[in-house]
Structure 1
């Protein structure tokens, strides 16, 4: 069942078209099968982090974005959903975290299209197929634009008691050497990332 929070926020207009059967998360949901070594790699003492590491505070739902049904016939996700900016998002700025079910290789859904790597060395991933937040609706740029305007980056969240939690975040691309991305993401523009060639290669294999 969807948590009451999801249905309440959907009715408020903050979470337009939140899907039935998908749990809305305010924080990651950890698999009970995750070993202690995996937990220790994700939740660390602030004193163990580099002095340059910024601990962020996050709070959903994220009013800077909007889930919107796509009605453009040429869009690869036509008839489905995308995530759009509700306000101007400057270059290099943090948009929102990518939340989901945190698991290792022993607890992986091979059919999921929403699974991102959080720690490759330990095989830890974040799967937003059955639970997550607005970030699960971000589409790949291919067939929509000439390139992405956002990207996934690792970051740490301040969870109190002098500890930080490693998560995946969605950030606006930096300006870049050419300066072409100086405007960032405009209000009403779709937030697009690159899933990577590996994603599409695996997708084609499963469809064959």
Structure 2
């Protein structure tokens, strides 16, 4: 029987046609000004700025096939928690191909904004990490349990990188989300209404 194990350094169930990234892949079309806005010295950060350390593959998540027929992503994959994750916990970074408007795939469903002012995005269509499998909450739950936030990641040698991170949503003032994300629970974000509007327009 063929082995179901993934090659070393890859998460279990990682698809063979997608490049797995341990760090962002920067477009060669990004100029020096844009690179400098994304890769900077720790000394340039405000003293109270939080810097995260990451490792991959991520041990707190798992890629899982969606077998529920009523799930909008049935037949595809989702990202599930391997352990309990409390409110506001950092889960993992969103990795992919970092590019600007000169290098954008208009058909991509995996492109997130990294720096709106400079028009920089990160696209996980062809390369990325486990975070590319996070589904939208619509049709699955009443609200997202995870969200994207801007972060700085320690990349070594006194440097940090601006990235997008995936976090558990906060408990909220009422505390109704105080449980966080339970072990075995699917992580769900909001893709934003704009994503679905563009998708509907493209299908017309």
Q: TM-score, normalised by structure 2?
A: 0.95
Alignment pair present for 1:126 and 2:126: no
Distance 1:155 1:185 in 2: 20
Residue matched to 1:190: 186
Alignment pair present for 1:74 and 2:64: no
Alignment pair present for 1:107 and 2:103: yes
Alignment of 1:37-56 (within 5 A): 37-56=33-52
Higher helix share goes to which structure? 1
Distance 2:199 2:78 in 1: 19
The runs of 4+ residues in structure 1 deviating greater than 4 Å are 11-14
Question: Which of 59, 72, 83 does residue 55 from structure 2 map onto?
Answer: 59
Cα RMSD (Å) = 1.7
1:44 CA displacement: 1.4
Alignment of 1:1-208 (within 5 A): 10-11=6-7, 15-208=11-204
Distance 2:19 2:9 in 1: 17
- Kept in 2, the 8 Å contact 1:25–1:100? The answer is yes
Aligned length: 202
1:9 CA displacement: 6.9
Residues 101-144 of structure 1 show CA distances to partners (whole Å, capped at 9, x for unaligned) of: 00000000111100000000110000000000000000000000
Structure 2 alignment gaps of length 5 or more:
none
- Kept in 1, the 8 Å contact 2:83–2:183? The answer is yes
1:160 CA displacement: 1.9
- Kept in 2, the 8 Å contact 1:16–1:68? The answer is no
Distance 1:109 1:9 in 2: 32
Distance 1:48 1:194 in 2: 32
Distance 2:160 2:122 in 1: 17
